[in-house]
Chain A
Amino acid sequence: MMTAAVEIRGLTKRYGKVQALEDVDLIVDRGCIYGILGPNGAGKSTLIKTLVGTLKPDAGKVAVLGHDMPRAAKAARRRIGYMPQVPALYGDLSVRANITFFARAHQIERLDEQVSKVINFVGLREKALFKIDTLSGGQKQRCSLACALVHDPELLILDEPTAGVDPVLKQGFWRHFHALAHGGTTILIATHLMDEPLLCDHVGILREGRLIVEDTPQNILARGASTVTLKIGDALIERRIAGDPGALAGLLSSYGLKPEVKGISVRPADLEEVFLQLLEKSGV
């Protein structure tokens, strides 16, 4: 039986008095795009650093592609690609030199060819010989992604890859992610942007180091309370109803047939509202 791409059990990490992660359980199946959603300081980067083996957990078990982390980090890292939150590139070297340098330790056959391939994939062919310091923020992010992809990893771990990039580039990034996932790459992406989890297959919401919800984006959206607006006479009355169909039917039956009801509109909650509702409900 094939192991999960990521398997985390009881992961706990503290920084002094700050509880960064508390008893987190998480499974990421192979070939899926898994989004970790959470506000700043929720523990997303800490979770990701334990996955790539640069942070040692205080308690719990972390397995990446079947390798225990950080004990077997060397073996796991041959098969994972990592894009940190900051570009983490050498500003005084060119795009090609950066990618080539980070690729060398993976002992890639036909290195130059592979480097050219990823440069084309991220759309930096014209900038390949430009120094990183001369590039825009978005171009640096693309180069950083290329560094993570150059050895064709089975698991791609991305820490807020689209933070601060323009909407067009963001769309381009997601096209790349879906193309990679289509080719069998598992992608784990940490984000605080509310539109991105909808593009994932599965989403986990982190809040103050705890995983409070884990489900498909559709199911998470369905948990949110919709807003029903009733126009009764000249007055507008708003009611929030739970995600189950019975709640809407109950509200409509209590108001729907009355002649003074002149209009009814139902607006389902968007992810941001659901997110806030879930945070409130979690009481963390």
Chain B
Amino acid sequence: MILDTLAVTARIYRQLLGDRRFLALALSVPLIVIYLFKVFIQTLPVSLFTDPEQLDILITAFIVHFTSYVLCLIVIVRERREQTLERMFVNNYGRAEIVLGYLLGYAGLATVQAVLIMAEVDYFFRLSYGLDLMFSIFAVIWTLSMISIAVGIMVSNLARTEAQIFPFIPLFILPTIFCSGLLIPVASLPVSIRWISYLMPLTYALKVLKPMIEELSSLQAYLPQFGVLIIYGLALLGASSLTLRQRE
């Protein structure tokens, strides 16, 4: 199983490194979006946000989450449409091996992406956080990015073509923005839709990030919350392995 997983990972790395345009876009687009966000923030009256630094980090987490999710969704649906996914199954690659292979394959990209974004945010917004807190924020954002890949794999089961992906972008992203606690606290949401927030990975990431930034403490102080995020991620990973459709 490990060898098969590594074979999928190696293939993805080979493809990523061979496709420089894709690599450049995947890395530069979030940076451009964050730059635009910086301009937007600086244009607004500061009083609109109680803690602009916190918002910068939360929005960064959201952008990484969004790009990883969409990237993985598109790649898996393309594999399904071009029948390479079916061919992988017929050549005896298992579902867990494919999902783990993808996760490891995109882990490298997610790491570079998160490092670049964190550096950019630190530079543009002149964050006052220490190295310890910055590393803790990076760890949470990186974990969220991995979870986004699992979500992308799960949602890919619902789309047969790249065109069918588009409804799943707002369907996932808008509840994430409005129900995860990013802009409105989860406790302020109407009870009837509060359950949606518990489905959103960003909710669990924000439960670590927000207090960490507010208290200026490192991840060590929030290990139980981080543990919940990890458990949620593992559950999603298991679900995406079980649901990856090989049969019509």
Per-position 1/0 for B66-106, Cβ under 8 A of A: 00000000000000001110111111111001000000000
Residues from chain A with Cβ under 8 Å of B19 in the complex? 92
Instruction: For the complex formed, measure the closest distance between the CB of A85 and the CB atoms of chain B, giving whole angstroms.
Output: 8
Given A84-B86, A88-B82, check contact A104 B248 (CB 8 Å): no
| Contacting residue for B7 out of A86, A90, A105, CB 8 A | A105
Tell me whether A147 is interfacial, beta carbon within 8 Å. Answer: yes
Q: What total of chain B residues lie within 8 Å of the partner, measured CB to CB?
A: 24
Whether B83 pairs with A84 at a CB distance below 8 angstroms is yes
Majority-rule SS of A interface residues: loop
Residues from chain A with Cβ under 8 Å of B83 in the complex? 84, 86, 88
Whether A89 pairs with B247 at a CB distance below 8 angstroms is no
Given A84-B87, A86-B82, check contact A54 B4 (CB 8 Å): no
Tell me whether B160 is interfacial, beta carbon within 8 Å. Answer: no
Instruction: For the complex formed, measure the closest distance between the CB of A44 and the CB atoms of chain B, giving whole angstroms.
Output: 15
Whether A52 pairs with B90 at a CB distance below 8 angstroms is yes
Beyond A82-B87, A89-B84, A90-B84, 18 extra complex contacts between A and B, CB < 8 Å: A52-B90, A53-B89, A77-B91, A82-B90, A90-B15, A93-B11, A93-B14, A93-B15, A93-B18, A97-B11, A101-B11, A102-B87, A102-B88, A104-B3, A105-B88, A105-B91, A105-B92, A105-B93
Q: List 5 A-B contacts (CB under 8 A).
A: A49-B248, A54-B89, A54-B248, A104-B7, A105-B7
Instruction: For the complex formed, measure the closest distance between the CB of B109 and the CB atoms of chain A, giving whole angstroms.
Output: 15
Tell me whether B28 is interfacial, beta carbon within 8 Å. Answer: no
Residues from chain A with Cβ under 8 Å of B88 in the complex? 102, 105
Whether A147 pairs with B7 at a CB distance below 8 angstroms is no
Tell me whether B246 is interfacial, beta carbon within 8 Å. Answer: yes
- Name which residue of chain A comes closest to B89, CB basis: A54
Instruction: For the complex formed, measure the closest distance between the CB of B99 and the CB atoms of chain A, giving whole angstroms.
Output: 14
State the CA gap A142–B82 with chains docked (Å).
17
State the CA gap A236–B19 with chains docked (Å).
67
Tell me whether A55 is interfacial, beta carbon within 8 Å. Answer: yes
Q: What total of chain A residues lie within 8 Å of the partner, measured CB to CB?
A: 29
- Name which residue of chain B comes closest to A46, CB basis: B248
Which B195-248 residues have a C-beta within 8 angstroms of A? 246-248
Residues from chain A with Cβ under 8 Å of B89 in the complex? 53-54, 77
Whether A53 pairs with B3 at a CB distance below 8 angstroms is no
Instruction: For the complex formed, measure the closest distance between the CB of A187 and the CB atoms of chain B, giving whole angstroms.
Output: 16
| Contacting residue for B90 out of A53, A92, A107, CB 8 A | A53
Tell me whether A78 is interfacial, beta carbon within 8 Å. Answer: yes
The 3 closest A-B pairs by CB, nearest first: A88-B83, A104-B7, A105-B92
Residues from chain B with Cβ under 8 Å of A176 in the complex? none
Tell me whether A182 is interfacial, beta carbon within 8 Å. Answer: no
| Contacting residue for A105 out of B4, B86, B248, CB 8 A | B4
Instruction: For the complex formed, measure the closest distance between the CB of B134 and the CB atoms of chain A, giving whole angstroms.
Output: 35
Whether A106 pairs with B91 at a CB distance below 8 angstroms is yes
Residues from chain A with Cβ under 8 Å of B82 in the complex? 86, 88
State the CA gap A84–B88 with chains docked (Å).
12
Whether A55 pairs with B14 at a CB distance below 8 angstroms is no
Whether A88 pairs with B92 at a CB distance below 8 angstroms is no
